[in-house]
């Protein structure tokens, strides 16, 4: 490591760190002034900071002659902060999720979930020491919300980076609540359980329902279908119990659609099909058609009493 062999040259051999903050202050006219920063975020140089910290823990005296270049940007605009991170991390891009993790909305969500005995992970594996069933992963929650509440299952499937990218404000805004994030995730958890069971049976060579193979690529579309069925039946999609009861019906809808498409297209693959933005429109038409059919069915006459 450079700082062990030539610590006095660290200034020349390292690109330093880039920091953003809401505001900063220092005493001008002094060498190496102490800078006070508010709401600090290291957007480039995390590895450098960590390496110096570990070196300090091992041999504090070795860092006495180490100087580090620090760029400090004062801004409260999240989009500018993101641009700075992207521009200064061209070789080793920063994880956009980590960049958003200190957002006020993320912090409020963490506090709200904690009140319910749940651990919201603004960063990946933030609460890894807690039981898995009590951890709420922010990215997974965002993906489920994207498919369930925003009607974009194909984006949730293939472009999950957009959850903390250009779609961040559509998901994590002042209107979002913990029930709104939790319900889609809980419904999707049951769908994922079915998918994992399918994977397990295939891997072990056990008998499995081949009609459910679409789950491997279409889990988010099943979740989307649950939301569509809830809407068509006047069910509150945030009611987890009622929403979960529609999973079975959602599986039937997707099964029917996959069978239709595979008959019409010899080159049909579920991978390509569930990446296609047009697929959700086909699901909506099936759900709407089933609703119309149900509305036209004659009601059975009630039996006369007495």
Cβ-contact 272, 217 below 8 angstroms: no
Per residue in 196-254, pLDDT (tens digit) is: 999 999 999 999 999 999 999 999 999 999 999 999 999 999 999 999 999 999 999 99
CA–CA separation, 165 and 149 (whole Å): 18
Decide if 176 is inside a domain.
yes
CA–CA separation, 274 and 223 (whole Å): 12
- Do 200 and 127 have their domain in common? yes
Q: What is the pTM of this model?
A: 0.70
- Do 86 and 112 have their domain in common? no
The sign of the torsion formed by the CA atoms of 68, 71, 74, 76 equals negative
- Do 87 and 232 have their domain in common? no
Last residue of a domain, one of 68, 94, 120: 94
Per residue in 106-140, pLDDT (tens digit) is: 999 999 999 999 999 999 899 999 999 999 999 99
* Per-residue confidence (pLDDT) for residue 98, from 0 to 100: 82
- Do 123 and 248 have their domain in common? yes
Within 10 A of 260 (CB to CB), how many other CB atoms are there? Answer: 13
Last residue of a domain, one of 64, 94, 124: 94
Q: Half-sphere exposure of residue 266, counting CA atoms within 13 Å on the CB side?
A: 0
- Do 249 and 288 have their domain in common? yes
- Do 108 and 80 have their domain in common? no
Range of the domain at 194: 104-296
CA–CA separation, 138 and 135 (whole Å): 9
Decide if 124 is inside a domain.
yes
Q: Residue 173: is its pLDDT beyond 70?
A: yes
- Do 82 and 133 have their domain in common? no
Decide if 304 is inside a domain.
no
- Do 193 and 174 have their domain in common? yes
200 token code pair = 């397990």
- Do 110 and 174 have their domain in common? yes
Decide if 41 is inside a domain.
yes
Decide if 239 is inside a domain.
yes
Within 10 A of 40 (CB to CB), how many other CB atoms are there? Answer: 14
Instruction: Name the band, by pLDDT with cuts 50, 70 and 90, for residue 304.
Output: very low
Q: How far is CA 39 from the centre of its chain?
A: 24
* Pick from 133, 173, 134: nearest CA to 150: 173
- Do 195 and 251 have their domain in common? yes
CA–CA separation, 236 and 232 (whole Å): 10
Give Cα separations from 304 to 287, 297, 301 (angstroms). Answer: 35, 21, 9
- Do 122 and 270 have their domain in common? yes
Residue 4 exposed, middle or buried by CB count within 10 Å (0-12, 13-18, 19+): exposed
Q: What is the DSSP letter of 162?
A: G
Decide if 215 is inside a domain.
yes
- Do 25 and 115 have their domain in common? no
* Per-residue confidence (pLDDT) for residue 91, from 0 to 100: 46
Decide if 80 is inside a domain.
yes
CA–CA separation, 243 and 306 (whole Å): 39
Per residue in 43-85, pLDDT (tens digit) is: 777 777 777 877 778 778 877 778 888 888 888 776 676 667 6
Decide if 99 is inside a domain.
no
Q: Is 46 helix (H, G, I), strand (E, B) or coil?
A: helix
Instruction: Name the band, by pLDDT with cuts 50, 70 and 90, for residue 12.
Output: low
Within 10 A of 206 (CB to CB), how many other CB atoms are there? Answer: 9
**Total domains, the chain:** 2
Spell out the alpha helix ranges (H) of the chain. 2-5, 10-13, 46-58, 78-88, 96-100, 104-115, 138-148, 153-158, 168-171, 178-204, 215-233, 240-244, 247-264, 270-273, 279-296
Last residue of a domain, one of 74, 94, 114: 94
């Amino acid at each position: 490591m450079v700082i062990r062999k030539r610590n006095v040259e660290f200034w020349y051999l390292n690109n330093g760190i880039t920091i953003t903050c809401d505001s900063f202050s220092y005493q001008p006219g002094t060498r190496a002034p102490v800078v006070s920063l508010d709401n600090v975020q290291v957007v480039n140089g995390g590895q450098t900071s960590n390496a110096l910290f570990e070196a300090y823990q091992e041999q504090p005296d070795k860092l006495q002659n180490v100087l580090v270049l620090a760029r400090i940007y004062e801004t409260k605009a999240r989009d500018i902060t993101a641009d700075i991170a992207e521009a200064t991390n061209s070789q080793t891009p920063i994880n956009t999720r980590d960049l958003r993790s200190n957002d006020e909305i993320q912090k409020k969500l963490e506090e709200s979930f904690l009140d319910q005995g749940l651990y919201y992970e603004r960063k990946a594996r933030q609460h890894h020491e807690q039981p898995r069933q009590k951890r709420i992963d922010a990215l997974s929650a965002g993906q489920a919300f994207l498919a369930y509440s925003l009607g974009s299952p194909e984006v949730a499937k293939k472009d999950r980076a957009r959850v903390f990218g250009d779609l961040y404000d559509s998901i994590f805004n002042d209107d979002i609540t913990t029930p709104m994030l939790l319900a889609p995730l809980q419904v999707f958890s049951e769908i994922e359980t079915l998918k994992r069971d399918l994977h397990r049976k295939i891997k072990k060579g056990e008998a499995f329902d081949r009609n459910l193979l679409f789950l491997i690529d279409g889990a988010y579309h099943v979740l989307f279908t649950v939301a569509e069925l809830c809407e068509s039946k006047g069910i509150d999609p945030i009611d987890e119990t009622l929403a979960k009861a529609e999973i079975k019906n959602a599986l039937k809808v997707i099964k029917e659609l996959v069978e239709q498409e595979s008959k019409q297209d010899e080159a049909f693959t579920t991978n390509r099909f569930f990446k296609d933005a047009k697929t959700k429109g086909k699901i909506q038409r099936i759900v709407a058609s089933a609703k119309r059919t149900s509305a036209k069915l004659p009601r059975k006459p009630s039996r006369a009493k007495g």
